[in-house]
Amino acid sequence: MKEMPANQLDPRVKAVWRINDAIWITIIGLCVGVALTPIAMIPDVGMWPFAVFGICMLVIYIVWLVVLPPIRYARWRYEVSTDYLDIAKGIVWRKRYTIPFIRVQNTDTRQGPILRAFKLASVTVATAAKEHEIPGLDFEVAEQLRDRAAELARIAREDV
């Protein structure tokens, strides 16, 4: 089997993932909490649904905000060669993408408000079939990677 790609994401991406996940977990938790309110108003039921829900939320917060980000960070790798972009990711379901630059149609950088606060960006490489994203790179590194991928794609098309 081929070796794992050499480059890792910026370590600050773990904080970005934690903030993003905390926001989504909180929004979903509030929706579920509102849905549980009518059940808790039934006289014989009491508050135990909220207690069970609170314990579940605590476990979810611990898993998604403490356990998963370091593992996700360790498994996310990428590498750029002269012919292709190699991406490896995944915790349970491992995915490996090899994108030949001859197939690349577009390269782009993206920054949401959380990434911008940490001076990070994501690089997106689009083919006719799919968009592949490398999240959480230092902004300067992301711009260099985007430009290099675009240049290698142009060279690959010229060589045909």
> What's the chain's Rg over C-alpha atoms?
21
The pLDDT value given to residue 160? 63
Quick: pLDDT tens for 22-40.
999 999 999 998 988 888 7
pTM of the model: 0.88
- What gap in Å lies between CA 93 and CA 160, rounded to an integer? 35
